[in-house]
Amino acid sequence: MDGNLYPYPSQADAKQPLQATLVWDLPLRLFHWAMVCVVAVAGVTGFLAPEWWLDLHVIAGYALGTLLTFRLAWGFLGSHYSKFWTFPLTRGGAYRHLRAILDRKPQDHAGHNPAGAWMIILLLIVLVSLVATGLVVLGGQENLGPLASAATFQTGEIAAKIHEIAAWGLVGAVVLHLLGVFVETRIFRHPVLAAMITGKKVTAELPPGAPPGMSAVRGGILFLAVTALLLAGGRTLAGKFPSGWRAVQAPAAYTTECGDCHHAHHPSLRTRQAWRALMNGLPDHYGEDASLDAETVRTIRAYLDANPAGTFDTEAAQRVGRIETSSFRMTDVPYWKARHQSIAPSVFRLTAVGSKVNCNGCHKDAASGRFDDVKIHLPTGDKK
Q: Is the pLDDT of residue 191 over 70?
A: yes
pLDDT of residue 10: 44
288 phi and psi, to 5 degrees?
A: -125, 150
Model confidence band, residue 200 (pLDDT cutoffs 50, 70, 90): confident
Question: Between the ranges 7-11, 47-51, 117-121, 277-281, where is the mean pLDDT highest?
Answer: 277-281
164 contacts 43 by C-beta, under 8 angstroms: no
Torsion angles phi and psi, residue 325, rounded to 5: -130, 150
| Per-residue pLDDT band at 305 (split at 50, 70, 90) | very high
Q: What is the mean pLDDT of residues 246-263?
A: 90
Question: ∠ CA(361), CA(297), CA(306), 5° rounding?
Answer: 75
SS3 at position 177? helix
Spelled out in words, what is the top-level CATH class assigned to the domain 19-238? mainly alpha
DSSP assignment of 124-153 equals HHHHHHHHHHHHHHHHHHS--STTTTT--H
pTM of the model: 0.84
Would you place residue 8 in the very low, low, confident or very high pLDDT band (cuts 50, 70, 90)?
A: very low
Residue 358 has pLDDT above 50, yes or no: yes
Residues contacting 256, CB < 8 A, separation 6+: none
Tell me the per-residue pLDDT of 368-381, one tens digit each, with 9 for 90 and over: 999 999 899 888 76
List, for residues 236-251, the tens digit of each pLDDT value: 999 898 999 999 999 9
Long-range contacts (CB closer than 8 Å, 24 or more residues apart) made by 335-344: 343/378
Domain with CATH 1.20.950.20 in the chain: 19-238
In this prediction, residue 1 has a pLDDT band, given cuts at 50, 70 and 90, of: very low
DSSP of 278-338: HHHTGGGBTTB-----HHHHHHHHHHHHHS-GGG--SHHIIIIIT---TT--GGGSHHHHH
pLDDT of residue 16: 55
- What is the C-alpha end-to-end distance of the chain, expressed in Å? 77
For the chain, what is the mean pLDDT? Answer: 87
The alpha carbon dihedral of 375, 233, 123, 205 has a sign of negative
Confidence of residue 204 (pLDDT cuts 50, 70, 90): low
DSSP string, 224-242: HHHHHHHHHHHHHHHTSPP
